[in-house]
């Protein structure tokens, strides 16, 4: 009988185990997690009447993989409030609402007249060299102009990756944007044609802003984690650290920190790349070397419970992002109690500030108090808070979001060769195939189907 061992009980690993258990009821499945809890960065804290996300705060419903999984598990989703469709950036020390249509863009104060003209010239910019692994910054400046890059694209990169756009690979981080330039020669022309085609089908076309509605659960993202963890039962073993692994007669031998070993016919790496690097350092040095090149920036999340009477701003919206050019202490802030019900007591707002990232890698050297003071000072200036918050917590991620830097696609090609040379070895984690929860779960479902059909002997 096949025995699949999955290293890592984040949502990639657990959703893979869930789908495999449905496809192949005759297979034994074991998920090994070094930490004492499952779920990775989907983690909700309940404190003093506040429901605070340590990490991801929801998924967009335009990519349905996560919500389909939730439905299979018997969960009811919670849609974000309509007011959360409003998003802001910091421009010249003040909050400016991001436009979500062509008309709103023309009247918006996010860009100057010159900046708007730069964007409007985009259809006349020649197609770039599609063979070059171009940085997000280079692409944005080339097609949209410096100002649009600084105030639209740069904060987007911070919000998704906490990354440096000068190092992020366009085609690895945003493959759809790369494809639109390749296929249509222009992002604006692509938008016009796709919207026209959608109207013919009597469907909604793409928008300039984020597509879909942000969705979570009544008790936060941990509700999904707990449900799938309970469904998998004893298949998930927490507090079970893998030290090393190497090929064996059966397939793979997995050596645990407690001195025990497990034999597996299929081994799936669903842990962060830095953990995989150490596990295979001696048995598969080429694999370990590939893992070494994936970087993770630190992130601190500072959560505040703020009395509504202490604010001059009603916080009607999703929150705001801070362009790097504005030189703020935070990457941005999420107004969680405006986004979802049940996040704060009636008389309070819950606000989470994000700090750190690739361009502020020393932020976690600060004490909790220093982080709180810096974040509060930003909110005081930008949101008009008149007195200190009555609730505050700091959550730290030493290694947060894997970065798809220039050269990432070459790393994946090298990884494919290593996996093909080692049958029974697979990789399924967020350092491959997209960092969003939707991407992780869709990729897990697809890999589970391939493994169950036995069409795929190794890969990702």
Is residue 8 included in any domain, yes or no? yes
| pLDDT (tens digit per residue) in 43-73 | 999 999 999 999 999 999 999 999 999 999 9
The CATH number that applies at residue 286 is: 3.50.50.60
| Same domain for 36 and 176 | no
Same domain? 283 vs 315: no
User: At which of 397, 417, 435 does a domain end?
Assistant: 397
DSSP H or E stretch at residue 65: helix 65-72
Based on the domain organization, do 289 and 302 belong to the same domain?
A: no
As for how many domains the chain has, the answer is 3
393 and 306 within one domain:
yes
pTM attached to this predicted model: 0.95
For the stretch 241-288, pLDDT in tens is: 999 999 998 899 999 999 999 999 999 999 999 999 999 999 999 999
Q: Report which DSSP code applies to 131.
A: T
Q: Which CATH number is 163's domain given?
A: 1.10.3110.10
Same domain for 388 and 351?
Answer: yes
- pLDDT single digits (tens) 366-406: 999 999 999 999 999 999 998 899 999 999 999 999 999 99
106 plus 190 within the same structural domain = yes
Q: Tell whether 274 and 409 lie within a shared domain.
A: yes
Burial tier of 455 (Cβ tally within 10 Å: 0-12, 13-18, 19+): exposed
Asked whether residue 62 is domain-assigned, the answer is: yes
104 and 188 assigned to the same domain: yes
The pLDDT of residue 210 is 63
If asked whether residues 279 and 365 sit together in one domain, one would say no
CATH number of the domain encompassing residue 74: 3.90.660.20
Each residue's pLDDT tens digit in the chain (460 positions)? 899 999 999 999 999 999 999 999 999 999 999 999 999 999 999 999 999 999 999 999 999 999 999 999 999 999 999 999 999 999 999 999 999 887 888 889 999 999 999 999 999 999 999 999 999 999 999 999 999 999 999 999 999 999 999 999 999 999 999 999 999 999 999 999 998 888 888 777 666 656 789 999 999 999 999 999 999 999 999 999 999 999 998 899 999 999 999 999 999 999 999 999 999 999 999 999 999 999 999 999 999 999 999 987 789 999 999 999 999 999 999 999 999 999 999 999 999 999 999 999 999 999 999 999 999 999 999 999 988 999 999 999 999 999 999 999 999 999 999 999 999 999 999 999 999 999 999 999 999 999 999 989 999 9
Residues 311 and 377 in one domain: yes
Taking the C-alpha atoms of residue 46 and residue 28, their distance in angstroms, rounded to an integer, is: 35
Backbone angles phi, psi at 125, to 5 degrees: -80, 130
For residues 291 and 407, membership in a common domain is answered with yes
Picking from 373, 397, 421, the residue at the C-terminal end of a domain is: 397
Domain annotation covers residue 206: no
Angstrom distance (rounded) from CA 268 to CA 458 = 9
Distance (Å) of CA 65 to CA 2, 15, 62, 68, 380 = 27, 10, 9, 5, 38
Residues 311 and 380 in one domain: yes
Domain that holds residue 284: 3-41+232-295+403-453
Of 365, 348, 362, the closest CA to residue 303 belongs to 348
Q: Does any domain span residue 52?
A: no
Q: Which helix (H) or strand (E) holds 11?
A: helix 11-23
């Amino acid at each position: 009988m096949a025995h699949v061992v999955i290293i890592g009980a984040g949502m990639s690993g657990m959703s893979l185990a869930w789908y495999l258990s449905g496809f192949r009821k005759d297979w034994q499945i074991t998920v090994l997690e070094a930490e004492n809890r499952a779920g990775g960065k989907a983690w909700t804290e309940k404190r003093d009447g506040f429901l605070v996300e340590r990490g991801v705060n929801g998924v967009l419903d335009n990519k349905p993989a996560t919500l389909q999984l939730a439905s299979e598990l018997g969960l009811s989703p919670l849609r974000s409030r309509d007011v959360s469709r409003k998003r802001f950036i910091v421009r010249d020390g003040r909050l400016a609402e991001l436009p979500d249509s062509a008309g709103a863009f023309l009247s918006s104060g996010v860009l100057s007249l010159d900046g708007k003209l730069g964007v409007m010239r985009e259809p006349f910019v020649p197609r770039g060299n599609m063979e070059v692994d171009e940085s997000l910054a280079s692409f944005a400046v080339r097609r949209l102009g410096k100002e649009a890059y600084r105030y639209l694209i740069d904060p987007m990169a911070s919000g998704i990756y906490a990354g440096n756009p000068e190092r992020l690979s366009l085609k690895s981080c945003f493959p759809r944007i790369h494809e639109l330039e390749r296929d249509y020669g222009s992002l604006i022309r692509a938008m016009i044609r796709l919207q026209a085609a959608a109207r013919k089908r009597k469907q909604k076309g793409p928008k300039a802003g984020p597509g879909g509605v942000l969705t979570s659960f009544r008790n936060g993202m941990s509700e999904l984690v707990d449900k799938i963890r309970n469904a998998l039962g004893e298949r998930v073993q927490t507090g079970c650290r893998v030290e090393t692994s190497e090929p064996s007669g059966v397939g793979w031998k997995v050596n645990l920190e407690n001195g025990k070993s497990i034999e597996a016919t299929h081994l799936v790496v669903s842990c962060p790349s830095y953990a995989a690097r150490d596990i295979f350092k001696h048995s598969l040095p080429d694999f370990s070397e590939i893992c070494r090149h994936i970087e993770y920036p630190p992130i601190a999340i500072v959560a505040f419970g703020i009395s509504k009477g202490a604010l001059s701003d009603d916080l009607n919206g999703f929150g705001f992002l801070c362009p790097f050019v504005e030189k703020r202490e935070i990457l941005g802030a999420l107004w969680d109690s405006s986004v979802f019900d049940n996040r704060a007591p009636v008389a309070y707002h819950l606000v989470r500030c994000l700090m750190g990232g690739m361009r502020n890698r020393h932020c976690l050297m600060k004490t909790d108090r220093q982080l709180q003071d810096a974040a509060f000072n930003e909110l005081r200036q930008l949101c008009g808070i008149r007195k200190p918050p009555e609730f505050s917590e700091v959550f730290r991620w030493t290694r947060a979001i894997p970065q798809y830097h220039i050269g990432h696609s070459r790393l994946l090609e090298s990884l494919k060769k290593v996996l093909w040379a080692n049958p029974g070895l697979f990789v399924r984690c967020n350092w491959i195939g997209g960092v969003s929860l939707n991407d992780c779960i869709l990729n897990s479902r697809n890999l589970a189907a391939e493994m169950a059909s036995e069409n795929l002997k190794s890969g990702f």
